[in-house]
Structure 1
Amino acid sequence: MSIEVKSVNIPNIAWETAADIHFPPNFDKSKKYPAVVSAHPIGSCKEQTSGNIYGKAMAEAGFVVVAFDASFQGASGGKPRFIENPEFRVSDFRFVVDYIQTLPYVDPERIGVLGICGGGGYAFNAAMTDYRFKCCVGITPVNFGRLSREAFGNFDPAGSLEKMANQRTLEAQGAKHFVIDYLPPSVTEAKKTTTDIDVIEATEYYKTARGQATHGATSGLFSFNSAALAWDAFNHAEVLMTRPFIAVVGDQPGGFGAYRDAQEIHGRAGSKDKRIVVLPGISHYMLYDKPEAVKPALDEVLPFLKKHLGEA
């Protein structure tokens, strides 16, 4: 099924957010449609799973879908590049909603949010802090703050902060930015260094033709990662997470911790309508694009969205 996609630039704090609007089949601009904001994983971009898989599927189901690039990443503005700051990442959602709720064909009272991996953690936090979102979907969601304190920080968050502080001082004095790659350069190298299913499958997705995209950098500016160490996607979820949500994970847990994080938000959230779906035999990165994982996920997600956002 052919889906019309329109690229737009959305005003942000002092730059623009690059986004693709995916339109439903037989789109009629005189109608009012429910809309979903779709957020990409850490180190990813809108042309990958948030747009070409979930964005496309939600549009085919009748939603106007806006897949966007995070600030400092992809085709969006902001300097320096490759910043992964949770506060900016969540703020991006609000600017996207500012924009789409003015569109004549979007019903501002029927806007939901979906995120994959780290984008799923951000989506939960956005739904907790911007009640213009009426419901939330987390596809194998990861709390980037928790991940930064643990696996990404070698379980030494204070030591990581010391290194980041020293590096940022050097860069402020003229040193070259230190950009880290979150993944090994190839699947062969990944298998040499780890047996972790998430690292190996992430490398297979991002570093091969399967998932490679121009802006899918899988990179981060090390000295600017300090904000993540003190951030928690689920902070105050017991009180603030009132929106209906569904979290979809596989039962094959890996080092990035999506299975654990999905269980945590499901257990902590104050939402009266909340579900966790655990798919047997499925791993984190299968939910990015593998039909045997994506289809059962969508079989749960699309009826959930139609229930809470309605149809055109």
Structure 2
Amino acid sequence: MRTQDVQFQNNDITMAGILFFPEKFKEGVKYPSIVVVHPGGGVKEQTASVYAKALAQQGFVTFAFDASHQGASGGMPRFLDDPMRRVGDIYSAVDYMTTLAYVDDTRIGALGICAGSGASVKAASTDRRIKAIGTVSAVDVGAAFRQGWDGKGKIADQLKTLDAAAQQRTAEAGGAAPVYIPYVPAVGDRSAPYDLQQAADYYLTPRGQHKNAPNKMLLTSANYMISFTGFDRVETLTQPIMIVAGTKAGSLWHSKALFAKAPGKKDLALIPGATHMDLYDGPGVGLAMAKLTPFFTRTLA
């Protein structure tokens, strides 16, 4: 498959992305396109590229990119994760796609995976250039930080995290070194939720490991995470949406909440027996694509 490494600007940050082209790509033709947004802690070369490639094989020009402050994209400090900045990343990615002569800027869609879904929903709720949106194993990271992976977290847990972030901010203001926390637990940590055990197997082993995804996030990112709400603007999310999730995913409550709130044409496609991470690679991608391909073909036709 033809691909192209590119850079684009997000204000003063230089972003890194990969374009994927359909097999029979022709110059002079305008194509529907899809921006693919990677999970938290991930980079464009992982599951985002898996889906970008699969969608390109269906006739779309697709674009996977690294979030600002992460991967091969610029931005300081490194390993900051601010979900609202990710929303801005998506705006800028769409900006870039509209400048390409072979992209039909009236037929641009977005696909978010895991935390990329929350940012994509937020972006699509406020950027009308995004004409259709898909989610895979959706997660609103703000809700996850506030309520825990299973949605049952308590206010006391939030306060503990916020107290730690406050102390660290004061320490760093005084010259202390930054402190990082992991996205996923260590491989073999059976105390973690099953989805996150599987996430460790994906991100920390050859299955999906990438040198640009070192499983670290600034502790001070917690302030931005807890204050983020990915689904709070859904009253303006009138574009059609396809929500794909596994029935065994501990994160399924996010997809159900999104489906309940979305006011436009919507579909919740449940993959029987699939966990959150089952849809990142392997056979799970084909099951998700069986839902996403007809959806994007119909809505971006």
Normalising by structure 2, report the TM-score.
Answer: 0.96
Matched residue, 2:69: 72
Give the deviation of 1:13 after TM superposition.
1.9
Matched residue, 1:143: 140
The total of aligned residue pairs comes to 297
Contact 1:168 1:224 in 2 (8 A): no
Contact 1:82 1:221 in 2 (8 A): yes
Letter in 2 for 1:214: K
Distance 1:205 1:103 in 2: 34
Matched residue, 2:186: 185
What is the correspondence of 1:31-46 to structure 2 with a 5 Å cutoff? Answer: 31-46=29-44
Q: Runs (4+) of structure 1 moved beyond 3 Å?
A: 152-155
Matched residue, 1:298: 289
What is the correspondence of 1:95-244 to structure 2 with a 5 Å cutoff? Answer: 95-151=92-148, 155=154, 156-186=157-187, 188=188, 190-191=189-190, 193-194=191-192, 196-237=193-234, 239-244=235-240
Matched residue, 1:285: 277
Contact 1:7 1:21 in 2 (8 A): yes
Contact 1:83 1:225 in 2 (8 A): no
Match of 1:81 among 68, 78, 81: 78
Match of 1:262 among 255, 274, 294: 255
Matched residue, 1:12: 10
Letter in 2 for 1:25: E
Contact 1:145 1:232 in 2 (8 A): yes
Contact 1:250 1:283 in 2 (8 A): yes
Matched residue, 1:29: 27
Matched residue, 2:268: 276
SS in 2 for 1:47: helix
Give the deviation of 1:5 after TM superposition.
0.9
Distance 1:184 1:231 in 2: 23
Give the deviation of 1:241 after TM superposition.
1.2
In structure 1, the gaps of 5 or more residues are none
SS in 1 for 2:67: coil
Distance 1:103 1:225 in 2: 36
In structure 2, the gaps of 5 or more residues are none
1:3-38 Cα shifts (integer Å, max 9, x gaps):
111011110121111000011102112100000000
Normalising by structure 1, report the TM-score.
Answer: 0.92
SS in 2 for 1:267: helix
Over aligned residues, Cα RMSD in angstroms?
A: 1.3
Contact 1:167 1:223 in 2 (8 A): yes
1:189-240 Cα shifts (integer Å, max 9, x gaps):
x12x33x211110011111110001112222101132012121100031x21
SS in 2 for 1:283: coil
Contact 2:161 2:222 in 1 (8 A): no
Distance 1:184 1:206 in 2: 10
Letter in 2 for 1:263: K
Matched residue, 2:87: 90
Letter in 2 for 1:165: A
Give the deviation of 1:154 after TM superposition.
6.1
Contact 1:48 1:216 in 2 (8 A): no
Contact 2:39 2:116 in 1 (8 A): yes
Distance 2:176 2:153 in 1: 25
Contact 1:71 1:92 in 2 (8 A): yes
- Taking only the aligned residue pairs, the percentage that are identical comes to 37
